[in-house]
Amino acid sequence: MRTQRSAFLYFTVSSMFLCTWMYGADWPMFAHDPMRTGWASLETSLSTSIVSQMKLLWKVQVTNDPKFLTALTVPVVATGIETSQGTMTLVYVAGSSNNFYALNAVDGSVVWNRKFDTRLAATGGPFQGTWVCPNGITATPAIDRGRRTVYVIAMDGRLYGLDLATGKDKFPAVTFVAPFSKNWSLNIVEGIIYTSLSQNCGDGASGFYSIDVSNPRRPLVRRLLLSSTDSGGIWGRGGPVIGGNHRIFGFTADGKFDPFAGEFSSSVVAASLPDLELADYFTPTDWQQITKDDLDMGSASPVSFTYKNFNLLAGGGKQAVVYLMDADSLGAKDHQTPLFVTPLLGNDDHSFNQSGIWGALSHWTDDTGDAWVYVPMWGPVSKQAPKFPQTNGLNPHGSIMAFKVATDAISKKPILMPAWISRDFDVPDPVVIANGVVFALSTGENPNQLKDRFQSTKPAVLYALDAKTGRELYNSSNAIEGWVHFSGLALADGRVYAVDQDSRIYCFGLQKE
């Protein structure tokens, strides 16, 4: 059965992601693809032998008023776009104050931009108009090349579909989610757009949301709500993760857990596509302690990938352990038994604040067929952590941890084997991978939620590491002026893109003659 299912999964994944493979140099959504791997599998320009020659090619300041800790979304990129000025690679970013920009990848010049209007006043609970509910654009946009459209959710909850070349509306903006809700990075599969909501911002209930605009005059919105309160949200910055088994996944925040009442906090939830019916869930045996200590599982997005005959999901949160699950049976029959759990990797103090796994996990398959998982860890390594064969110096503020996927000799099931741990990152964002190189930001942010987050920050630094050893190959030194919060990287056509809290966009790459 595993062999037959593996063949089926290959066909399904290939069909679902055809749009991505057709335009291999694109970066169409957060972490590149619906599975949120962060792997630019067709990138050829950047490699371990040449990445040390990277430079800052340009930086651009765009007009955007940050909303507390929210500024620009992670860039998305489309290559070979026919514009009135010629064929271009365009870089798209949305701004927290209802702005949207398309930039020329050659020099950062603005090709077109939009300012979305809103006729609504922000409403919601006690956190509305704070860093928790910032009343701005929060979800990274997503590109559908087949429809020549980039999708974005404006601050009032309307979905816009914009022409890639001109920025003109492909259809009238349509209400998708609650106004001023906190929605997360968009995902697209088979023409349907997905997001997730958290923290009850704008009175938007936590859960998965989708919209089918194949007929924009009759848009179809579906929801799977996971909590009746402001808890249980999926707030990993990658939003919904879509696996090759035609399921959508999310790690939920702490709160109530009562599956008979539809309460799925401190859990991993799977729903079917496209109807968003609850398909499966996994809840750790210590979920009550996780909730009590505010050790959100939802602080990082999981990653979906295939390994041999298994369809896998890997993820973890502030608790600082990584769960490896069979994506077709997350917690086995009792919903509490994953394939494998790492020892404690960080957060020895069991603190909800500035420790543990944040952002998103990433995946890469190397040229020998070995599968890798990369974990951004805030804070020092746990005393209980396993020994990493390759180390790269002390890392008191944070690190990237790399694991190889292997098969346990006894159970014959996948496990995670420690491979390397990086130099110090203060603190790390999710990594992206291309051609044997891991790119990651040391964000320089102040992660202490109990103090003024705008004080004691440092400029971010972009690092390139050898994907098999963690050895540093490049760093951007002082090229980035500001710090970064809750962001990520884009990698397309030999260039790496980042944003900072002051609404600047940066492009790094090889200097062309």
Contacts of 273 (CB under 8 A, 6+ apart): 189, 190, 192, 242, 246, 247, 248
Query: Is residue 439 a contact partner of residue 463, using CB atoms and an 8 Å limit?
Result: yes
pLDDT recorded at residue 513: 55
Question: Cα–Cα distances in Å, from 354 out to 69, 350, 359, 389?
Answer: 15, 10, 12, 26
Where residue 286 falls (left for φ over 0; alpha for ψ -120 to 50; beta otherwise) is alpha
371 touches 361 (CB < 8 A): no
H-type helices in 189-322, by residue range?
287-292
CB neighbour class for 349 (10 Å; exposed up to 12, middle 13-18, buried from 19): exposed
CA distance 97 to 138: 10
Q: What is the pLDDT of residue 125?
A: 84
Would you state the structure tokens that stand for residue 60, as one six-digit string? 């651009």
The phi-psi region of residue 415 (left if phi > 0; otherwise alpha if psi is between -120 and 50; otherwise beta) is beta
Tokens read off for 34: 């619906």
Phi, psi torsion values for 7, nearest 5 degrees: -65, -40
Instruction: Choose among 507, 501, 472, 466: nearest CA to 489.
Output: 507
User: How is the chain split among helix, strand and coil, in percent rounded to 5?
Assistant: 10, 40, 55
CA 113 to chain centre: 24
Beta-bridged to residue 312, according to DSSP, are: 305, 326
What pLDDT was estimated at residue 473?
Answer: 98
Rounded to whole angstroms, how far apart are CA atoms 181 and 26? Answer: 29
Instruction: Look at residues 218, 199, 222 and name the one whose alpha carbon lies nearest to residue 209.
Output: 222
- How many residues does this entry show for the chain? 513
Global confidence as pTM = 0.95
Q: Are 108 and 507 in contact (CB under 8 A)?
A: yes
pLDDT at 334: 97
Tell me which residue has tokens 């809750």. 486
Number of Cα atoms under 13 Å in the Cβ half of residue 178: 24
Lookup: tokens for 495: 């260039």
> Do the beta carbons of residue 131 and residue 125 sit within 8 Å?
no
Q: Which domains does the chain have, with CATH numbers?
A: 2-509 (2.140.10.10)
First-to-last alpha carbon distance for the chain, in angstroms, is 54
How many angstroms separate the CA atoms of 52 and 508, rounded?
11
Give 375: exposed, middle or buried? Use CB within 10 Å, 0-12, 13-18, 19+: buried
pLDDT score at 405: 98
Count of H helices and E strands in the chain? Answer: 3, 39
Rounded CA separation 402/440 (Å): 13
Sign of CA dihedral 422, 47, 34, 195: positive
Tokens for 44? 């050829």
Tally the C-alpha atoms within 13 A of residue 345's C-alpha that lie toward its C-beta. Answer: 32
**β-strands 268-272, 278-282 pairing:** antiparallel
Q: CB neighbours of 49 closer than 8 A, spacing ≥ 6? A: none
| Amino acid in position 318 | K
Which residues, in sequence order, are CB contacts of 191 under 8 Å at separation 6+? 144, 146, 147, 212, 213, 214
Mean pLDDT by 10 residues, the chain (513 residues): 37 44 79 98 94 98 96 98 96 98 98 95 88 95 97 98 98 96 96 95 95 94 88 90 96 91 94 97 95 92 96 97 98 97 96 93 96 98 97 97 97 97 98 98 93 92 98 98 97 97 97 71
C-alpha 334/C-alpha 496 separation (Å) is 43
CA distance 366 to 374: 13
Distance (Å) of CA 36 to CA 5, 32, 141: 22, 6, 14
